[in-house]
Amino acid sequence: MDGLEGSPVGVQVPLYQAKAEFFRMLGHPVRIRVLELLADGPTPVRQLLAAIEVEPSNLSQQLAVLRRSGIVTATRDGSTVVYALAGGDVAELMRAARRILTEMLTGREELLAELREAEASSALPQ
């Protein structure tokens, strides 16, 4: 876990490792849903909890991961805590991901259609 935040300022982490940590931090269904909800504006935990089927303590852990990575901020307002995206076009990233994902799944269906039609043998790995 913990990726980005662990690095003291000035200690250089190779960029490809920072990227890997960034993507790993995105790699959890609850965290994805939180980011998508936050894309529509700052949201109190209570509301996230209502929208996502998950135990409060589990949500808190996932929020902690997002917070530590720096992609979201938390501010306390009375007894509720409000989360918001720290900046950046997270929505754009999600769009890019969706495009690739769609393409990948489409490619897959085409491949399967081909395979269904001609039960031929070929010489490719796997």
Residue 62, contacted partner among DNA, its own copies, none, CB below 5-8 A by kind:
DNA
Residue 56 is a binding residue for its own copies (CB under 8 A)? no
Which region, left, alpha or beta, applies to residue 78 given φ > 0 means left and ψ of -120 to 50 means alpha? left
Site for DNA (CB under 7 A): which residue of 81, 86, 90, 91? 81
Contacts of 102 (CB under 8 A, 6+ apart): none
Q: Which does 61 bind (CB under 5 to 8 A by kind): its own copies, DNA, none?
A: DNA
Residue 26 CA, distance from chain mean position = 3
76 membership: H or E segment, kind and range: strand 72-77
- What residues line the site for DNA (CB under 7 A)? 1-3, 24, 27-28, 30, 44-46, 49, 54-65, 74, 76, 78-81, 123, 125-126
